[in-house]
Structure 1
């Protein structure tokens, strides 16, 4: 089955005037911050934290620590499965743009950063919970995450994505509180000290790591300078050479800020991760940010949104999705897209 799905990309600026769109997953960090009586104050403080962290890391030729600011856009991807104009919001990510006030220029930042997905909610909050309820001592289903991974690959190879972005996304998430991390001697000038997950190769480990590997993403863990804990960076290609220092800094500044707000026990702890580190959400020695954030609501909404996805996306298009996923080969589809692109370039050159 060589069915083509239609992808469309929308963007909205995450600033002090941001209001979540109706299609936005309500459990996203940025949507949660932008509701309630403290919304504008929350947004102002969050953006200030991002800018301060960026300038602290991009300290060269920046003596007053105010050379840069970061613009953040929410990137929403809709997909039309049946070709009838009915789109479903598949994925939301963030794109950063760096404003250099000294040179009066705008510089492309990172695409990715945060990662929100209704289908991921469905997988973890419906499929996985149902599986473990029936099979308490078993491993996750063998095909767990297959559909989501293929949809993600399809998006990256789509004309819509490639028309908007020149690089593949880097997703920056929290480390797992169920795993232990070992500090290595490897140190990057921007990303900081590298950690390894105990007993795991670079591409295996937590269930999240394995889920993201089906999206074609490898994980590495780095703790930037003056951070309390390492961050998990999920990427395709070479994290250290495919992205500029400023791109990497924009990802750190943005996502470390969200993690300090959402997981202060880990990322706003009053002590830093040691050589052997196991994150804990029960850790008591941490500081709160001055930003109001409803973590209870966030955890409760994931199940509701998973069921919403089941009713509005999985069940209506089950047959189409099953047939497509069974025949979709990631490598051959990417090669086909690349061949079409090369042919178009040669035709244009001629």
Structure 2
């Protein structure tokens, strides 16, 4: 199969209080999980209000009433088409978020961050199916050989594609939770938006996975936050992005983390100088947003199996050859 038999396309939908996940949406994502059930509209309204409030707390100068800005979100889906014409198959490969910041005073709209959340069917397969099976057979064996290479190369191909470059002028920044398996140490480095930088002596499994995507991690505890976030990026995180862009990703992703990892991100006391996150911590507060974390874990396995059945088994070898040799 030639390179022309693979193509990326991008679509997007608003994430607002009227959002309803499409059938093809990867439903373990933060935003899709919140948008189902009896409390869906209230969940969405409260989540968006939390994001706006957090953004205004970070962008507080010349903002005395703390309500100057609003953050708009769009869910961006990258589809991969495999094959030509009548025999082509299209799969949702990656979902990320794009933010836009609205200045209510001037009416101006500013580009926020592209990336933020990161969802991927192939990543579900890697962690929930491939890695889980490998660990069952090799409890002390670490990750399987080549773990994350296909996903990493597909991600690089996506960023290099005309579909991405024609739409977004900068590489994405992905913002996730820090690992509960690692210890993080506070440094003397402080950024006005990202906050206090933390460091760690070794890469977590997620850090290593994102490294295969060409991204490296930095960890910051934002002003007013209680735990550091992991920022995965290409290039210069603090030099390539404006305060508006950085504040939009902190506001968005810290809000999601407060909802589904409250033990870490809605704890009642901030991270210490030497900090190891724990989901067993009891000293935390809940938000007023309904979220089913157990369901999310079950769905990750189901979606990993979907990727195995529809992507990895029928097309994995071809995708590996294409993604690894397409001039990256």
Give the CA deviation at 1:2: 6.0
Give the CA deviation at 1:318: 2.8
5+ long unaligned stretches in structure 1:
331-350
Query: What is the distance in 2 between the residues matched to 1:230 and 1:270?
Result: 14
Query: What is the distance in 2 between the residues matched to 1:326 and 1:13?
Result: 33
Q: Among 138, 148, 166, which residue is 1:163 paired with? A: 166
Give the CA deviation at 1:324: 2.0
Query: What is the distance in 2 between the residues matched to 1:28 and 1:83?
Result: 30
Give 1:63's aligned residue: 64
Give 1:150's aligned residue: 153
The answer (yes or no) to whether the contact 1:79–1:89 under 8 Å persists in 2 is: yes
Query: What is the distance in 2 between the residues matched to 1:116 and 1:295?
Result: 16
Give the CA deviation at 1:139: 2.0
Give 1:3's aligned residue: 3
Query: What is the distance in 2 between the residues matched to 1:101 and 1:319?
Result: 51
Give the CA deviation at 1:83: 2.9
Give 1:176's aligned residue: 179
Give the CA deviation at 1:232: 0.2
* TM-score of the superposed pair, with normalisation by structure 1: 0.91
Which aligned pairs between 1:172-251 and structure 2 lie closer than 5 A?
Answer: 172-197=175-200, 199-200=201-202, 205-251=203-249
Q: Among 97, 102, 106, which residue is 1:103 paired with? A: 106
The answer (yes or no) to whether the contact 2:173–2:233 under 8 Å persists in 1 is: yes
Give 2:315's aligned residue: 317
The answer (yes or no) to whether the contact 1:217–1:236 under 8 Å persists in 2 is: yes
Residues 108-145 of structure 1 show CA distances to partners (whole Å, capped at 9, x for unaligned) of: 00000000000000001111112122222112123100
Residues 27-73 of structure 1 show CA distances to partners (whole Å, capped at 9, x for unaligned) of: 11100100000000000000000000000000011011111000000
5+ long unaligned stretches in structure 2:
none
Give 1:83's aligned residue: 84
The answer (yes or no) to whether the contact 1:6–1:83 under 8 Å persists in 2 is: no
CA pair 214-300 structure 1, distance change in 2 beyond 3 A? same
The answer (yes or no) to whether the contact 1:23–1:89 under 8 Å persists in 2 is: yes
Give 2:291's aligned residue: 293
Aligned structure 1 segments of 4 or more residues deviating by more than 3 angstroms: none
Give the CA deviation at 1:103: 1.2
Which aligned pairs between 1:127-142 and structure 2 lie closer than 5 A?
Answer: 127-142=130-145
Give 2:44's aligned residue: 43
- Aligned pair count reads 325
The answer (yes or no) to whether the contact 1:150–1:328 under 8 Å persists in 2 is: no
Cα RMSD, aligned residues only? 1.1
* TM-score of the superposed pair, with normalisation by structure 2: 0.97
Query: What is the distance in 1 between the residues matched to 2:245 and 2:161?
Result: 23
Give 2:253's aligned residue: 255
Query: What is the distance in 1 between the residues matched to 2:115 and 2:308?
Result: 25
The answer (yes or no) to whether the contact 1:119–1:148 under 8 Å persists in 2 is: yes
